Amino acid sequence: MKRGFVILGGILLAFSIALFGFRYFGTHKFNGYILPEPVKAPETMLRSVNGPVRISDFKGKIVLLYFGYTYCPDVCPTSLANIKLAMGELTPEEAAQVQVIFVSVDPARDTPETLSRYVRMFRDDFIGATGTREEIDWMVNTFGAKYTIEPPDENGNYNVSHSAFTMVLDRDGYYVMNWEHGTPSTNMSADLRYLIAHDILISAQILAGATYTPVVCAVTLVPAHVQSGQWLYEHHCAQCHGLDMAGNPQYQVELADGSRLAPPLNGQGDAWTYPQTELLTIIKEGRNLDKPIHMPAFKSKLADWEIEFILSYVQTTWDVNQLNYQHGFMTLTPQATLATATPLAPLVTSTPSP
């Protein structure tokens, strides 16, 4: 009889743990669009009234990023007012973990001083920043936003059509989701509370549905292979990709001839998203061989086993989730609980300024 109670207690305990796991991981429904492939924020430097502004300056905080301009008569002030309400619905401790940055795409009229006065009308801790046209375009293009400066009227006044979604960057500077214009502030604050408490698992991208048990990596990196791979990497790959495998910071920019600079091979890049066989082929055959900037083919210089040793060394910089994904144990499909939303809100055109 006592044994039966013990078994029943164990079953109830297991059920409670499973239920807690589901409640903890599976019940939150995000109110915005989750990017299936998060985007790393560029190291572009903008300027505010208090000095340089880089996304990396706010590592450890959730960043809300909005592209607009201070002369916008309706959409920008409405969006910032909504963000202000969402921030006001958080506790002071929660709000301290979020940084709002308003980036002007109209540097001809929006100076850092003008931007500071503008954003402080909403909250004292909002940051207003801008930069050169090249810096702004680099940032806008990286995040997939858009803007168009409209032709001026007879008095020289002009409007700017721009994307009107609010971008959410996680604590490591990855753009992971956005809210379309008009998302209620209560929905935004609910998402923020969840992100503050739990984050989004982006090292393995977004998993297919809730995960109740950890995935144990079955990949074994043989120390001798790693050691040999390090020597081979340093003698054949480091010249382009760097000893730290960090690659070129602007590797995502497509050059005029269609080629790209050397990408990072560590966990900050996307090498881990390629199957092992495809990486082997890329290294053997090279890329963009007909272009001035290209990756050479190593099939005549390295044996397959040497390339595999190099990949073993590269994989030592990937986390367990990236290793699991690269070996087929995880997928990149979005969560089943995501709210339906268009990936990017369309350009909005403000009503003409008086």
Which range is least confidently modeled, 75-84, 160-169, 214-223, 338-347?
338-347
pLDDT band per the 50, 70, 90 thresholds, residue 293: confident
What is the second-level CATH architecture of the domain 33-208+336-348? 3-Layer(aba) Sandwich (3.40)
pLDDT band per the 50, 70, 90 thresholds, residue 4: low
- Taking the C-alpha atoms of residue 48 and residue 182, their distance in angstroms, rounded to an integer, is 27
Which range is least confidently modeled, 20-24, 43-47, 94-98, 194-198?
20-24
- How open is the CA angle 67-70-73, to the nearest 5 degrees? 100
> How confident is the model over 18-42, as a mean pLDDT?
66
Domain ranges of the chain: 33-208+336-348, 223-326
What would the pLDDT profile of 226-271 be if each residue is shown by its tens digit? 898 999 999 999 999 999 999 888 887 778 888 888 899 988 888 8
* Per-residue pLDDT, 294: 86
* Sign of the Cα pseudo-torsion (74, 129, 39, 44, in order): positive
On the 0-12 / 13-18 / 19+ scale of CB atoms within 10 A, 146 is: middle
* Per-residue pLDDT, 9: 52
Tell whether the model's pLDDT for residue 106 goes beyond 60. yes
**Amino acid letter at 155?**
N
What is the second-level CATH architecture of the domain 223-326? Orthogonal Bundle (1.10)
Distance of CA 195 to the CA centre of its chain: 14
CB 158 within 8 A of CB 149: yes
More confident residue, 313 or 351: 313
What would the pLDDT profile of 175-195 be if each residue is shown by its tens digit? 988 999 999 999 999 999 999
More confident residue, 186 or 21: 186
* Per-residue pLDDT, 183: 93
On the 0-12 / 13-18 / 19+ scale of CB atoms within 10 A, 123 is: middle
What would the pLDDT profile of 193-231 be if each residue is shown by its tens digit? 999 988 775 433 333 333 333 444 445 678 888 898 999
> How confident is the model over 340-347, as a mean pLDDT?
43
Tell whether the model's pLDDT for residue 3 goes beyond 60. no
More confident residue, 294 or 189: 189
> How confident is the model over 48-75, as a mean pLDDT?
93
What pTM was computed for the model? 0.55
Helix (H/G/I), strand (E/B), else coil: 243: coil
Q: Is it true that 33-208+336-348 and 223-326 share their CATH fold?
A: no
Q: Which residue is listed with tokens 């290294």? A: 283
